[in-house]
Amino acid sequence: MINITFLGTVSGIPSLNRNHPAIVLEYFSNYRDVFLFDCGEGTQKQFMKSDLSFMDIEKIFITHWHADHFAGLIPLIQTMNLEKRQKPLTIYGPEAERFVSDILDLGYFGLRFPVKAVNVPFEGNEITTIYETDDYEIQSIPVLHSVPTVAFCFKEKDRWNIDEKKLAEFNIKKGPWLKKLKKEGEIEYKGKKIKIKDVGYVKKGLKVVYTGDTKPCENVGKISKDADVLIHDATFLEEDVSEKAHASVKDAAKIAKKVNVKQLILTHISRRYTNLDELEKEAKEIFKNTIIAKDLMKIKVK
C-alpha cells in the first residue's frame, strides 16, 4: 500500500493557503519507507501540520533546482541536525552533487549525519533506475522545462500471490514452503514438483509518477504507462498558457488518457486560481478520474 501526502501544491509564487511543492510517499509492506519528492520553502512546517514526521524521511528526490522545489532543503537539513538525526540522508536530482554541496556550504553549521547526493541523468529518453530494493524501484526520466528537470516514478515490483482454490486442487497445505515457492518458483511437495504458475497469479505492482515541472512531454507518457497515479504539473488553464515551461490542465489530462493511467492528480497550480472547480471541470472533460491537489491532501493507493 502507498500513501501520498501533498504538503505543497502551488506553482512559483506561494499563496496563503498553498505552499511550494513537496510530496511525501509512504510505502507500506511489513515495514514503512518514507520518501520526499521536492522540498519547497516551508516544507518542514507543512510536515508539522500533517501527521508525518520529517525525521522518518529516507531519501529526497528533487525534480529540478528552482527555489520553489528545493529552498526547503536548507532549513530541513539543519532542523534534522538539531533534532539529532544520525541516519544517512540521500538526495537525488539532476546535478544533485553540485547543488547539495552548495546547500551544505551555506551558513555556519556542523553537519552531524551523512548527506549523500546522487546525480540523475537529465538528457535523453531513457528511464533510469536510480534506487532498487527487493520490493520496489525508483526511476527517473528527463522532462521538458526551462532548466534540467526529471520526473520520478515509484514502481512496486510485480509479485506472485497464491490462489487458495488452486492450492486445494493440488492438495497443498499452507506453510513455509509457499514462501519458498514464491521466491524460487518451484518446490518439491510430497514427492511432486510444484511450479508457482500452477498455484499462483501475478499481482501487478503499484506505480506512482510525479512529473515535476514540465511542458507536455513524450517522456512523461513513456514513464507513466498504465500508472496507478500520475501527479502532473498543471500550472494553468488552457486560455492562460503564456509561457512554454509548464503544462496546462488540458495537456496533463490528454497525457493521462493517452497512456491509460488510473488516476490523475493535478498540482503546481498557479496562485491566480482560487476556484479550483474550473480546473477540475476542464480536466474532466478529457480525463474523468482527475483530482486537483490541495495542501495536506492524502491519497491511498492500493
Q: How far is the CB of 69 from Zn ion (least distance, A)?
A: 6
| Angular region, 124: left φ>0, alpha ψ -120 to 50, beta rest | left
What φ, ψ does residue 236 adopt, rounded to 5°?
Answer: -130, 160
Nearer to Zn ion, 213 or 282 (CB): 213
Nearer to Zn ion, 80 or 150 (CB): 150
233 binds Zn ion (CB under 5 A): no
213 binds Zn ion (CB under 5 A): yes
Total number of residues that touch Zn ion (CB under 5 A) = 2
Residue in this structure with the C-alpha cell 521536492, named with its chain if needed: 38
Nearer to Zn ion, 33 or 213 (CB): 213
CA angle 235, 53, 121 (to 5 degrees): 50
The region of 23-31, 62-70, 102-110, 123-131 touching Zn ion under the rule CB under 5 A is 62-70
CA torsion through residues 76, 81, 83, 84, sign: positive
Nearer to Zn ion, 12 or 200 (CB): 12
Q: How far is the CB of 103 from Zn ion (least distance, A)?
A: 18
Q: Of 33, 51, 56, 68, which one is the catalytic site residue?
A: 68
E strand or H helix that includes residue 152: strand 150-156
Q: How far is the CB of 209 from Zn ion (least distance, A)?
A: 17
282 binds Zn ion (CB under 5 A): no
CA 209, CA 6: separation in Å to the nearest integer? 14
Q: How far is the CB of 247 from Zn ion (least distance, A)?
A: 11
CA 250, CA 169: separation in Å to the nearest integer? 51
Strands 290-292 and 192-195, by their bridges, are unpaired
The region of 61-69, 87-95, 102-110, 248-256 touching Zn ion under the rule CB under 5 A is 61-69
Strands 89-93 and 59-61, by their bridges, are parallel
Q: How far is the CB of 245 from Zn ion (least distance, A)?
A: 9
Asked if residues 22 and 38 have their Cβ atoms less than 8 Å apart, the reply is yes
Nearer to Zn ion, 8 or 200 (CB): 8
Scan residues 147-176 and list those touching Zn ion (CB under 5 A). none
The region of 74-82, 141-149, 168-176, 211-219 touching Zn ion under the rule CB under 5 A is 211-219
CA angle 65, 49, 1 (to 5 degrees): 80
Concerning whether 68 is annotated as a catalytic residue, the answer is yes
Scan residues 63-92 and list those touching Zn ion (CB under 5 A). 68
Number of residues written out for the chain: 302
> Partners of 4 in the beta sheet?
25, 299
Nearer to Zn ion, 186 or 240 (CB): 240
Q: How far is the CB of 70 from Zn ion (least distance, A)?
A: 10
Strands 229-233 and 207-210, by their bridges, are parallel
Positions that interact with Zn ion (CB under 5 A): 68, 213
Give catalytic residues, as residue numbers.
68
